């Protein structure tokens, strides 16, 4: 019977329920969401404006191709967008009194595991962003990174494609590009080391080499500076090594080196200077009777 | 006796219990769950629609096989599905006033330990996803990754199977594939280095080589460009090394190289040009009496 | 005196204590635990059913041995069971208003330290699970992983036992198995490189080799394809190297290679083709008077 | 004056203080602690019983020495004990309304730093536990792990002591034992590679070797199977290498190899088969006038 | 009907709503924000002042170029600014009773994943900051770091550009610069090792070398100290090696070494001291009848 | 005017302030602190007692020097002390209603960064503790760890000092000591490998060696067992290698080896057994007219 | 109209606002801050006093230069100061009821990312602190660490500067200094290995060497002990190697070694003992008709 009394009480309580407070609460919540949405729109617009200005300035200052600047600007705007949407959704959910913390915390565990696994991906994009931004490599550059050398075919946010000399296409994730050696940034050095016999006169050899150098230099546009004989680089076990260096146009260093090697060999032949084979002094021990 | 009074009080309190408030709470909770379920369904449908459109576009743009696109689309939808179910379950549990945080936190400890152990798995799938998406390798490609070379037999989300030249099947987890060198992306370069004697005339040797090259080029469809003699690659210790390169059809580079080597050797024999053995100058020291 | 009054008050308060509310609370708690237990049983039964079905399907599709499928199914069910028991215990403790968070948090610190130390264990089991699931290796396979080669004696969830050629038993934790090279997946290639003298005729040598190959191929069931002479593999410093390859039955490649080597040597002897020793050209410098 | 009134009020308030509620609270707390203690005792007893049964079963099944089983059981019981005491203490502290979270959180920071430093220790024990449990090595086994080879002198939970061949005692932390190669698990293979001259007849050499092998096999109990001549292992630069293998009793492989080497050398001497020195063909270039 | 009563109640409740408390709350909040903003401005101004003073002092003390000091000061102020803005925004949001924790926690998951990926970036900047601050390298220095050697072209906060000797431009992320070897910090050592025959008199050779050294030293401004003969560096297999060292002006060491090598060779020739070829004692074994 | 009323109200409220409750609170807090302090003292005393007993037992059982035991005991007590003080301070601060969590959390961030940096330090101490506890090395031992060999000069909790053979003092942080090879734990093995000519009789050589061994063994107290000739260790390219081993007193192995080498050389000379130089068969190719 | 009533109510409520409680709260807060500030001052003073005493004791005990002690003391005080200021600020902010947790948590995310990047910095300082404290290296010491050798020019908290022998200045971050080999801690060993011919008498050679040693020892103050001939170090392929060692003053070992080498060579020349060139036995194979 007391239960009936209890149910009786329910009716009263329902009547007493604070509908007004609820309505105010709902109304306030809606207002809050609206306000946050407006703030969201303003911040996004402002952020995009700032990004655009920064990139326009960067484009003018650094003389970057429009395509590259567009890629970078696009990425930056996207990231800003995602961050703002995330903040907006979480805030709205909170106002709806749904406790997002647990979801996020729960997601966090999976997220962390994934994060560890996916950190390579993030690392790729971060590195790729800076490779593009700092113009470290361009399509067509001849570069070396890690164990790969070749012509850059494509620079992406995640992978860089390098075409090796033998025709192989190397897909290198950007995170693997710790250091880049770009061989297409200015003139290159051609280096030729050539050995003469210990019996030859060093001064004569240097004169012959230098004359050959001068002759070649006068007839080759690819040579920017030199070639010049530096002097005795090493006293080898069988030869005296002389070094010749020349500054050449980019990518022409190998051709120049080949030309110099041929010319030096022929000049030495003409002047009777020997490029010696490895030498060995043989001490003959004639009488070898029983044991050593 | 006071205890009896106490029990008496229980009856009264029970009667006073706010059954109405409880019912309202229950009703509101059910409504909330329903609302969340509807949101869940909408978001999932929307998400799937977006994924489908993205992949259709990707398929058309990148000219991907339908099978590959299906695999990727399937994976993406599954991941979205799991995330949404997780969010849904956590939210419902919270409405049922079961505190999920502790469970999640507790699970988190185990999860972290597992996560560290399982990060390799995630890393495999993330890398595998991008290998498929960016079409870095196809079944049948001849690739090198790490210390493994061979024909790709299968590209999975977790492992890639590579059939080595000697018949061995290599199972490589995708995370181990940091960089891929794909040898089946366009024409390849055949490179033959051949040494001539220091006594031979370089110009004559080059002429002989180039003639042989031209003869072979005219009769071999696998050669796309050249073979051409580049010049003096090295002044070796016993020989002058000349380099010949040719652009060939993919996978035909070894055959072309074998052909060139045989032809060069025979052309040199015919023209009396020597491929020299290693040389050594022996300085004889005849009289060796007591000690050195 | 006021204290006495205070004690007097205790009696009254005790009488006033809300025994009814307590009982309701206790009753509700018991109901909650019961409900959760039922949910627990249902979820476990459902989970096991799903696992069983998945593995039955996997068994039929992948043609796996029943034993292997049982091991994997057992592991999966165990993991599900542990997770559900954990969730159940934590939920019940919470209903008993014991704050599990602190215990878990506290355990978490130790757990983390242990987790870092034990991550190897988890990593072993995760890798082992996939090695079994993807049938990468079977007992009796001849495999290479890291620096170990040999016949697989046992594949466990934690360690794989490999019997090396010299009789040593290698215990390899599964996490150390980053890539597996399985030499027991299809036919193998036998490769024999053999050098001939620079003075010999290449065409004749190739004819002799190919004839020997054909003779052997006709009398050996272990040879599946070839053996065929590929051509000039290298122009070595003292010999012209020819390569012969043959496809053989699995594990028979070494026997075939031994057979080929013996036959080639004997055929060359019979035909007067030389397998040359290393050559050196000695330039004698007779008169060595004072210094070099 | 109002202050005096205030103090007056204190007296009243003290009198009004809910001593009864406090006492009930205290009583309930004591009861709770008691209940938890009982649960603690039951769980520990149960846990120990389960551990004991598991190890008895393990002992019988795996045929482990009682000492090893005792060590493992002791460790397992200790770990369970520490966990339960930890849970008990934290729970009691919470009932005493001391917030353990802060202490734990604070300790956590130090704990984490220590944990990172001490993870090696945990890793040692976890690995040691499994080395013992899976009987990978026994005292007296001849094993190789990493760069250390030798006889196992002691297997502990933290370090394993290996006595090297030269008498050095290696202390190897168990975590450093990533893979173990146990040379004391069954028969071993004796392998002898022996080179014959290119001028010798291969068939004759094989016959001589096989006869020697059979002679030795008949007189040596340490040889389990073979020795047998496999055939031509390599066509070396100066010799034709033949391989002989034999299965021997454990640890006897070196003795058998020494015996075989001596016998082979003597048999070859007796049959006029040459074990050749390295060969070199010397091409004499007599007239060396000016330069090369 | 009771509902109508309920709605009636809403009106009353609205009227009863504590508008005053709300207004006070709003007012207090605004005041708080204002106060915090003022504190923010003061702290920023103070911080900037402290930074400026520190850098002025650093500039004077360390004699740094104004440009470098500006870069460092700019970076420091920016970091301070970002930190203060962050703190300000979070505080304001809290006063607006928006719970930032969830947003931050949620962001934290992504942040952590990104953080792991981007830690390289931070590591670059931190290292770059100290490279600049400690003046370890300047533009124009000749340095070696890791596998790269060359002239520094640019030192940035993220990457350092090094121009290799062959003209290649190396982009090295600062985090890769673990140790720097700067070859442009003071005088350098020229080292020449020269071998004489075992038949030559060591004292005579030392005298000849020292005389040559003194002659060169007197005519070369690049030599700061020495060159001096140290003595017998090695008793080689064919020669007695003497070492000569000299202190030279920076970057002139190679020139001096080349000069010394040429002079030594010519002095030895003039004095009849031999720079020996590798020696070998040949023990002739004439009668080689059957086998070895 | 209402404000004045407000102020009027302040007075009343102050008077109404619950001074009694405050005092009770303060009193209870003080009591709590006192109780905790007593518990702290008891736990510390108990802990120290337990540590002392454990070390006394350890000292007796393991026969450790008192100094070493003192060091370990001191460290253990210190750690216990720091932990208890930390717990005590945190608990007291909580009773003073100062929320320590924030401080700790804040400190945690810095702490984590430091922790990562300082983990090496912790790792040093943990490893050092076990090196001392397990008596792996003593001052004066000759040990090898990583790339350092030498006599241990000092074993500290953080670094171990090893004096190399050339006089260098190596400071090795304990964490770098992953494995220790202690050469001062029992007798050592002297190993001498000596080659004889292929023309010599193996049995005769073994007899000569064994006789020499017996002669030396009888006159040298440093030899514990042997020396014994094991047999033919290798069939080298120019010699038949025989192995002799002997067990010697610790650190005497090198002396014994030197003695054996001298004796063997002299015994071979006396018996006409040759220790051969490297051999080479020279195949003379006399007529070398035009090319190879 | 009810709104007006509402506003009316605001007035009343404002009047009713508990201004007294607010004031008490404010007053209590101020008192709390003051108390905490005093505690802060006391703790700092105490901490500094303790640090000073510890360092004074350390200075006296370890005989450290005042400069080094000052550096370490300064660092320790700074760290204490920063920690106390941090705790003080956080506590005060909490009393001002500003929730610091969110700020800290938020900062934590950035902090963690930075922390990972900056951990190298912390690691540098921690290692640097101990290098200074334990006096492992002093300015002017000749040390080897990793791949760098040279004279220490500066030991900083972050980097150590080492001047290489060739004049290069190496900047080594302290964290890279895992182990230090200090060559300036006591006397050094000079080691000279010298080979004699297999035909020479070992005893005679030892006598000659020892006499030369004694002669040099008597005339050289840099030699502390020895030089002594140890005996036959190796039976080389062409020579019997004898080892001579001597204890010399620090940094004089190279000079002594050079002196010994010269003296030994001259003594051997005077006594007709040969330092042999590499030997080779040439087995001539005269008749080489067709093939090998």
| C196: contact with B, CB 8 A cutoff | no
Handedness of CA D99, D104, D105, D106 (dihedral sign): positive
pLDDT the model gives residue E148: 92
User: Nearest chain C Cα to G292, which residue?
Assistant: C274
pLDDT the model gives residue A1: 44
| Rg from Cα positions in chain E | 38
pLDDT, tens digit, 9 for 90 and up, residues B231-266: 899 988 888 999 999 999 988 899 999 999 999 999
As a whole number of angstroms, the distance between CA C284 and CA D284 comes to: 7
| E276: contact with C, CB 8 A cutoff | yes
pLDDT, tens digit, 9 for 90 and up, residues G253-275: 999 999 999 999 999 989 989 88
- Residue C101 scores a pLDDT above 90: no
pLDDT, tens digit, 9 for 90 and up, residues B53-83: 888 887 777 676 777 777 778 888 887 887 7
Interface test with D, best of G20, G21, G283, G289 (most D CBs within 10 A): G283
- Is the ipTM, as predicted for this complex, more than 0.95? no
SS (H, E, C) chain E: CHHHHHHHHHHHHHHHCCHHHHHHHHHHHHHHHHHHHHHHHHHHHHHHHHHHHHHHHHHHHHCCCHHHHHHHHHHHHHHHHHHHHHHHHHHHHHHCCCCHHHHHHHHHHHHHHHHHHHHHHHHHHHHHHHHHHCCCCCCCCEEEECCEEEEEEEECCCEEEEECCCCCEEEEEHHHCCCEEECCCCCEEEEEEEEECCCCCHHHHHHHHHHHHHHHHHCCCCEEEEEEEEEEEEECCCCEEEEEEEEECCCCHHHHHHHHHHHHHHHHHHHCCCCCCCEEEEEEECCCCCCC
Pairing status of strand A180-182 against strand E169-173: antiparallel
Handedness of CA G219, G222, G223, G224 (dihedral sign): positive
pLDDT the model gives residue B163: 93
Chains in contact with D via at least 3 Cβ–Cβ pairs below 8 Å: A, B, C, E, F, G
For chain B, the average pLDDT equals: 80
Helix (H, G, I), strand (E, B) or coil at G134: coil
C-alpha closest to that of D121 among A60, C116, B174, E93: C116
Burial (Cβ within 10 Å: 0-12, 13-18, ≥19) of residue E29: middle
Q: Do A119 and E109 touch (CB under 8 A)?
A: no
Q: Which residues of E touch B288 (CB under 8 A)?
A: 281
Q: Which residues of D touch F14 (CB under 8 A)?
A: 2, 6
Whole-number Cα distances in Å, D46 to C156, D39, D42, D77, E51: 30, 10, 6, 11, 65
Q: Do A146 and B187 touch (CB under 8 A)?
A: no
In sequence order, which ranges of B99-160 are alpha helices (DSSP H)?
100-133
pLDDT band, residue E35 (cuts 50/70/90): confident
Q: Which residues contact C152 (CB under 8 A, 6 or more apart)?
A: C137, C138, C139, C140, C141, C142, C143, C160, C161, C162, C163
pLDDT the model gives residue D55: 82
pLDDT, average across residues C118-145: 84
As a whole number of angstroms, the distance between CA G142 and CA G126 comes to: 23
DSSP B13-30: HHHHS-HHHHHHHHHHHH
As a whole number of angstroms, the distance between CA A133 and CA C72 comes to: 49
Chains in contact with F via at least 3 Cβ–Cβ pairs below 8 Å: A, B, C, D, E, G
pLDDT the model gives residue F11: 53
- Residue A103 scores a pLDDT above 60: no
pLDDT the model gives residue C118: 66
- Residue B20 scores a pLDDT above 70: no
pLDDT, tens digit, 9 for 90 and up, residues F93-152: 766 665 555 555 555 555 555 666 667 777 888 888 888 888 888 888 999 998 899 999
pLDDT the model gives residue C125: 83
Interface test with B, best of C122, C191, C240, C287 (most B CBs within 10 A): C122
Choose among E112, E169, E280: nearest Cβ to A112.
E112
Q: Do G277 and A283 touch (CB under 8 A)?
A: yes
Torsion of CA A78, A79, A82, A87, to 10 degrees: -140
Q: Do E292 and D275 touch (CB under 8 A)?
A: yes
pLDDT, tens digit, 9 for 90 and up, residues C4-61: 444 555 455 555 555 566 667 677 777 878 888 888 888 888 988 888 888 888 777 7
pLDDT, tens digit, 9 for 90 and up, residues E75-132: 888 878 877 787 777 777 766 665 555 555 555 555 555 666 667 777 888 888 888 8
| Vertex A55: Cα angle to A54 and A57 (nearest 5) | 70
| G283: contact with D, CB 8 A cutoff | yes
Handedness of CA A11, A17, A22, A24 (dihedral sign): positive
Å between B219 CA and nearest CA of chain E? 41
In total, chain C counts a number of residues equal to 292
Count of CB atoms situated within 10 Å of the CB of E20: 20
φ, ψ of residue C56 to 5 degrees: the values are -60, -45
As a whole number of angstroms, the distance between CA E241 and CA E231 comes to: 8
For chain D, the average pLDDT equals: 80
Which tokens belong to A72? 């970078």
Q: Which of A125-139, C91-105, E216-230 has the lowest mean pLDDT?
A: C91-105
Pairing status of strand B279-285 against strand A279-285: parallel
Q: Do B90 and A113 touch (CB under 8 A)?
A: no
Q: Do D106 and F126 touch (CB under 8 A)?
A: no
Of all residues in chain C, the percent with pLDDT exceeding 70 is 77
Q: Which residues of C touch B176 (CB under 8 A)?
A: 178-179
| E20: contact with A, CB 8 A cutoff | no
- Give the number of B-C residue pairs with CB atoms closer than 8 Å: 200
C-alpha closest to that of G119 among G47, G155, G173: G173
User: Nearest chain D Cα to A269, which residue?
Assistant: D291
As a whole number of angstroms, the distance between CA C95 and CA C239 comes to: 85
As a whole number of angstroms, the distance between CA F183 and CA G236 comes to: 26
| E198: contact with B, CB 8 A cutoff | yes
As a whole number of angstroms, the distance between CA B227 and CA B223 comes to: 8
Å between G88 CA and nearest CA of chain E? 17
pLDDT, average across residues G111-118: 60
- Check residue D272 and give left, alpha or beta (phi > 0: left; psi -120 to 50: alpha): left
As a whole number of angstroms, the distance between CA C185 and CA C183 comes to: 6
Examine residue G229 and say whether the peptide bond preceding it is cis (omega within 30 degrees of 0). Answer: no
Interface test with F, best of D106, D149, D174, D259 (most F CBs within 10 A): D106
DSSP A138-180: -TT-EEEETTEEEEEEEE-SSEEEEE-TTS-EEEEEGGG-SSE
Which tokens belong to F23? 């005092």
pLDDT, tens digit, 9 for 90 and up, residues A184-201: 888 899 999 999 988 888
B289 or A146, which is more confident?
A146
| E292: contact with D, CB 8 A cutoff | yes
Q: Which residues of C touch D43 (CB under 8 A)?
A: none
E109 or F86, which is more confident?
F86
Q: Do C272 and G292 touch (CB under 8 A)?
A: no
Q: Which of C118-127, F201-210, G38-47, G109-118 has the lowest mean pLDDT?
A: G109-118
As a whole number of angstroms, the distance between CA D291 and CA A195 comes to: 13
C-alpha closest to that of E284 among F198, F284, A284: A284
Q: Do G134 and F171 touch (CB under 8 A)?
A: yes
| Alpha carbon of residue C284 to chain centroid | 60
- Residue A163 scores a pLDDT above 50: yes
Q: Which residues of F touch D222 (CB under 8 A)?
A: none
As a whole number of angstroms, the distance between CA E238 and CA G178 comes to: 39
Q: Which of residues 30-69 of A touch E (CB under 8 A)?
A: none
As a whole number of angstroms, the distance between CA D202 and CA C267 comes to: 12
As a whole number of angstroms, the distance between CA A253 and CA D112 comes to: 56
In sequence order, which ranges of chain G are alpha helices (DSSP H)?
2-16, 19-62, 66-95, 100-133, 202-218, 253-271
- Give the number of C-G residue pairs with CB atoms closer than 8 Å: 12
pLDDT the model gives residue B102: 55
**Which run of H or of E encompasses C246?**
strand C240-248
Chains in contact with G via at least 3 Cβ–Cβ pairs below 8 Å: A, B, C, D, E, F
Q: Which residues of D touch A197 (CB under 8 A)?
A: 291
Q: Which residues of C touch E282 (CB under 8 A)?
A: none
Domains present along chain C, CATH in parentheses: 18-117 (1.10.287.1260), 137-182 (2.30.30.60), 188-270 (3.30.70.100)
- A277: which DSSP letter? P
- Give the number of B-F residue pairs with CB atoms closer than 8 Å: 11
| C3: contact with D, CB 8 A cutoff | yes
DSSP D71-120: HHHHHHHHHHHHHHHHHHHHHHHHHTT--HHHHHHHHHHHHHHHHHHHHH
């Amino acid at each position: 019977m007391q239960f009936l009394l209890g149910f009786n009480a329910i009716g009263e309580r329902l009547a007493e329920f604070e509908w007004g407070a609820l309505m105010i609460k709902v109304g306030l919540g809606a207002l809050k969401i609206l306000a946050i949405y407006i703030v969201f729109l303003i911040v996004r617009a402002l952020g995009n404006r700032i990004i655009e200005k920064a990139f326009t300035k960067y484009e003018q200052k650094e003389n970057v191709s429009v395509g590259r600047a567009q890629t970078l600007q696009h990425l930056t705007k996207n990231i800003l967008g995602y961050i703002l949407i995330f903040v907006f959704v979480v805030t709205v959910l909170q106002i709806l009194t749904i406790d997002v913390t647990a979801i996020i915390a729960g997601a966090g565990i999976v997220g962390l595991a994934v994060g560890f696994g996916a950190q390579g991906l993030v690392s790729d994009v971060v590195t790729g962003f800076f490779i593009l931004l700092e113009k470290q490599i361009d399509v067509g550059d001849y570069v070396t990174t890690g164990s790969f050398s070749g012509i850059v075919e494509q620079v992406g946010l995640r992978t860089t494609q390098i075409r090796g000399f033998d025709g192989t296409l190397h897909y290198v994730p950007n995170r693997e590009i710790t250091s880049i050696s770009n061989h297409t940034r200015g003139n290159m050095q051609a280096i030729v080391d050539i050995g003469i016999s210990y019996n030859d006169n060093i001064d004569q050899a240097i004169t012959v080499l230098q004359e050959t150098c001068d002759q070649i230099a006068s007839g080759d546009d690819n040579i920017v500076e030199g070639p010049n004989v530096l002097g005795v680089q090493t006293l080898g076990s069988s030869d005296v090594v002389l070094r010749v260096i020349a500054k050449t146009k980019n990518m022409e260093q190998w051709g120049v080196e080949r030309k110099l090697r041929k010319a030096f060999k022929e000049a030495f032949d003409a002047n009777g200077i020997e490029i010696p084979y490895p030498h060995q002094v043989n001490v003959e021990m004639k009488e070898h009777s029983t044991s050593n």
